[in-house]
Every structure is written in C-alpha cells, then in structure tokens.
Amino acid sequence: MNKEDLFKDKIVVVTGAASGIGRSVAARLGRLGTTVCAADINEPGTRETVKLIGAAGGNAYAAKLDVTKSAEIKKLIDNVIKKHGRLDYMFNNAGIAIVGETRDMTDEHWKKIIDINLMGVLAGTLAAYRVMVRQGFGHIVNTASLAGLIPVPLETSYSLTKYAVVGLSTSLRGEGAALGVKVSVVCPGFIRTPILDNYIAVGFDPADLTDKPKKMTEVNDAAHIILSGVAKNKSIILVGSDARIAWFLYKIWPGLVDFIGRKAMDDLRKIRKEK
C-alpha cells in the first residue's frame, strides 16, 4: 500500500490553508480522498482552496479562523467533532514572517509574531490534543521552519517562535505516543510561496536585497514531502535540500553556520550604509 493511502477517508483540519504550503497540503489531501476543513483568516483564499479541491473531485469546506483567538480554534474543533465524530489530523500551519534587526523591532512586532506563530500553534495543538487523547488516536502536524533548528540572525523573532514550536512538538510527541496521539514537526527551508514576498520588513527596504534565495523547493513538492513524512510518522520532517544540508552542517560545524549568519548581517548593514 502506498503510504499516502493512509489519508483516505480521514478528517483533517489545515490552518493557513488559503495560501502557500497550507493550500498545497490541503489540495494534495483532497486528491488522496481526505475530507479537509480549510481554515484561514483569509476567507476568499480558503474558498479558492476549497474550489480547487472540489474541481479535482475532493471533499473540502472552508472555515474562517484567526489562530490568535484560542476560542475560535476550540469552536472549530468542536464543530468538526459534531460534524464528523472525530479528528484524524490537525495541521497547525498558519504563520507569518518578520525580518529585520532586533534593535529596530517594536514590542508590537514581537507580540504579533508570537501570537500567530507560537500561541496560534499552541492553541491548535492543545485543542486537537485534548480531543485526540479522548479518542485514543490522531496526529498533530505543526509547521516550524529550518529557523527552528538553526540560528537565523535578522529573523530572531521568527526563529524564537519556530524553536518553540519544535520544542513543543518533539516533547509532546513523547507524551502522546502511549496515548495513541502522534506529533510531527515540519521544518522547511525556502519554499516558493507568497510569504517570501509578503513578510514584514523592519528597518530596511526588501527591494534593496540583492541576495535572494537561490535554491527553493516548489510548493507542491513540499506538500508531497510533508505528507510522506507524516505517513511515516517522522518526528522532524525536513523539507528541501537546503534544510537538510544546513541542519547537518549546524550539527557538525556550528561555527560555520554562525559565520554565514554574521556575513548576512554585514551584507544587510552595507545596504543600510551603517554599522
């Protein structure tokens, strides 16, 4: 049996499903015969995802969700249980990126990214975990990043949230195993999605950046890697050769990764024409 056949007839919630990785994972799940609840703060975007899944013969519906509101997440999960009687997979994938120097960031920047990337994933994890422990089965899949495994200067706030998501997921995995609940964390390198253009830039103009990522994974390839990793119940799912190489390098030669990070800082400061 193909590992991905596991998803047939399953009930799945995907957050951040209006765009990028979430949309692509939702669409692939739809093709595999899963019933997908596509949740996002961007309602027109989720409707578009649902349309895509329907056009390919899949089964999906849209839900408006702001992951920073834990009551909304609980209500969404309650509704899924009322409608289907169970929840098989919960993909806590919604996220944003803020790029810039910590000395330029305001408290509001920190609050925004922690509320969405960390508290949003935590709320989705807790709501799903409680239901799954009661059921005695289920799989939670949280999206972190390569920036949750290696240091990334200029993305310090992002990295903080993603390291926390890795810690949450890998630790909860050990707690949930004997209760029938699986937990995986997805750590992508660069994936070609709108987040690479829509991030919040603090203290610099993105147009001045000449050094754009050279090697990027296409989003549909990312969705395939993610679902294969979930089907194999991997703890950490690395997505893209950049993620695999960078994490390996960091483990064997952290000083080199530090050096590359400092060089990226120097390059940005040259653009800002200050030290």
Q: How many CB atoms lie within 10 A of CB 5?
A: 10
Residue written as tokens 């960078």? 246
* 76 CB-near residues (< 8 Å, 6+ apart): 13, 37, 39, 63, 65, 127
* 245 CB-near residues (< 8 Å, 6+ apart): none
Please report how close the Cβ of residue 178 comes to ligand NAD at its closest, in angstroms. Answer: 29
Please report how close the Cβ of residue 72 comes to ligand NAD at its closest, in angstroms. Answer: 9
Q: Which spans of this chain sit near ligand NAD (rule: CB under 6 A)?
A: 15-16, 18-22, 40-42, 45, 65-68, 93-97, 116, 120, 143, 145, 188, 190-191, 193-196, 198
Secondary structure class of 275 (helix, strand, coil): coil
33 vs 151 by CB, closer to ligand NAD: 151
Please report how close the Cβ of residue 136 comes to ligand NAD at its closest, in angstroms. Answer: 29
180 vs 206 by CB, closer to ligand NAD: 206
Catalytic residue list contains 158: yes
Q: Give me the catalytic one of 89, 129, 158, 250.
A: 158
Are 170 and 235 spatial neighbours (Cβ–Cβ below 8 Å)? yes
42 vs 59 by CB, closer to ligand NAD: 42
Secondary structure class of 266 (helix, strand, coil): helix
Are 234 and 184 spatial neighbours (Cβ–Cβ below 8 Å)? yes
Please report how close the Cβ of residue 82 comes to ligand NAD at its closest, in angstroms. Answer: 21
Q: Where are the beta strands (DSSP E) in 116-169?
A: 138-143
Calpha distance 174→185 (Å, rounded): 13
Q: Where are the beta strands (DSSP E) in the chain?
A: 11-15, 35-40, 59-64, 89-92, 98-100, 138-143, 181-188, 200-202, 236-239
152 vs 172 by CB, closer to ligand NAD: 152
Structure tokens at 156: 């310090």
137 vs 247 by CB, closer to ligand NAD: 247
Q: What residues does 91 pair with on adjacent strands?
A: 14, 141
Calpha distance 190→50 (Å, rounded): 25
Structure tokens at 255: 């000083």
Please report how close the Cβ of residue 127 comes to ligand NAD at its closest, in angstroms. Answer: 14
86 vs 192 by CB, closer to ligand NAD: 192
Please report how close the Cβ of residue 147 comes to ligand NAD at its closest, in angstroms. Answer: 7
Secondary structure class of 2 (helix, strand, coil): coil
**Residues marked as catalytic:** 158
